[in-house]
Amino acid sequence: MTLLSVEDVYQSYGEEQVLKGVSFEMEQGDVDVLMGPSGSGKSTMLRCINRLTDVDSGDIWLNDTHVTAPETDVNELRQNVGMVFQDFNLFAHLTALENITLGLKRVRGMDPEAARERAHEHLEQVGLSDQAGAYPAELSGGQKQRVGIARALAMEPKLLLFDEPTSALDPELVGDVVTVMQDLAAAGMTMLVVSHELGFARSAADDIHFLDEGRVVESGPPEQLFEQPEHDRTAAFLSGLESGER
């Protein structure tokens, strides 16, 4: 069943055209990775899907919700689309647990006790039960990002967006976050991930979409893109990543 469908999306910031007709589809349970040089429009693409950014033209559908229609309730949409940020964006004045319960209480309308219970379950899922009472400033980058993932998961979204989840992390902390993401992928979560983490892409991605200058240059399963890319741009970019050993 098609969960997400992106159809010919254009987007610009002022004069600058960022997305120039992007289209792709994701099935329920798919894990897709967006790759491409900086400025190619990957993050903008993600932000269009939960309406943090509005498209100029084109359509995005999440199941039968017309995401890009002006009358769509964005707050309701965002309950179904979780997002994990590059620089975590944990609520700085709330503990790890409270970061998760805020949305459950204020958006989902859960009572505080039930919200705490669910938050604890998700902290356990990301291996941070013992940090429930810690404030973001007391956590390492990897721990922060895992709380960020738990915060998004707790809302039980249909689709989880990751915006370069590991690129602000020290190299030795990347592993923990990638492991959590791999577990999620294995559990059947539908995930759209902007990342240059090759290990994750190889092991978990169903499809990789290679973006350049606002267009999808090439899409396909990892083995195809890594072993026999059709386009020179793709080949050059991916071999550049591999030689950088990221």
**Which positions lie near other proteins, rule CB under 8 A?**
50, 52, 74-76, 78-79, 82-83, 85, 87, 89-93, 102-103, 106-107, 130-131, 133-138, 151-152, 155
Specify the residue, 109 or 244, whose C-beta has the smaller distance to other proteins. Answer: 109
- Residue 178's closest CA among 150, 205, 196, 197? 197
The answer to whether the beta carbons of residues 192 and 162 sit under 8 Å apart is: yes
Residue by residue, DSSP assigns 139-208 as S-HHHHHHHHHHHHHHT--SEEEEESTTTTS-HHHHHHHHHHHHHHHHTT--EEEE---HHHHHHH-SEE
Specify the residue, 41 or 148, whose C-beta has the smaller distance to other proteins. Answer: 148
Specify the residue, 151 or 209, whose C-beta has the smaller distance to other proteins. Answer: 151
CA distance 148 to 170: 17
| Rounded least distance, CB 151 to other proteins, Å | 7
| Rounded least distance, CB 113 to other proteins, Å | 19
Q: Tell me the two tokens of residue 130.
A: 């013992």
Specify the residue, 66 or 106, whose C-beta has the smaller distance to other proteins. Answer: 106
Report how far Cα 124 is from the mean position of its chain's Cα atoms. Answer: 20
Report how far Cα 176 is from the mean position of its chain's Cα atoms. Answer: 16
| Rounded least distance, CB 93 to other proteins, Å | 5
| Rounded least distance, CB 60 to other proteins, Å | 16
| Rounded least distance, CB 103 to other proteins, Å | 4
Specify the residue, 63 or 224, whose C-beta has the smaller distance to other proteins. Answer: 63
